[in-house]
Amino acid sequence: MGDFLATYYPWIKALHVMAVIAWMAGLFYLPRLFVYHVEQVEAGSATDAMFQVMERRLLKAIINPASVATWVFGLALVCTPGIVDWTEVWPWTKAFCVIAMSLFHHWLGQQRKDFVGGTNSVTGRQYRMMNEVPTLLMIIIVISVIVKF
């Protein structure tokens, strides 16, 4: 298995980066949709239904598959011999932030369900603040991997 991963390391890494980009794009956009949904749309209206469709499709067709691909290719990279030195701090920092990003992703999924059920209680301002979470996590992840602090 190690030989396979080492041989295809550049491809696995490229697929991982592409999956991360797609995942991040969705995580940046969905909270912004929630801001507009909560601030500009009347519950039960045709626009409300349209926003729900957009949010569902973004989550189900882009964010969820990109998250799975990110995890699969990321774990393949971690299992590639000689890539990660677990005695250093950076892989643990990255792992913590990726888990936090995944929890944020699941929180967004729950918020979408709250819109569908008409039980959303989060304000536009709160969604704007939450929209910064993936940015902060991404900064820590990138610095951890590139600088290896």
pLDDT tens digits along 96-132: 999 999 999 999 999 999 999 999 999 999 999 999 9
| Percentage of residues of the chain with pLDDT beyond 70 | 100
21 pLDDT exceeds 90?
Answer: yes
When pLDDT is cut at 50, 70 and 90, the band that residue 1 belongs to is: confident
Residue 136 φ/ψ, nearest 5 degrees: -60, -45
For the chain, what is the radius of gyration of the CA atoms? 18
Closest CA to 98 of 25, 31, 23, 149: 23
Dist CA 122 CA 128 (whole Å): 10
The count of residues in the chain is: 149
Tokens of 70: 């990110």
CA angle 34, 66, 92 (to 5 degrees): 100
**Please, what is the average pLDDT of the chain?**
96
26 pLDDT exceeds 80?
Answer: yes
The per-residue pLDDT for 102 is 98
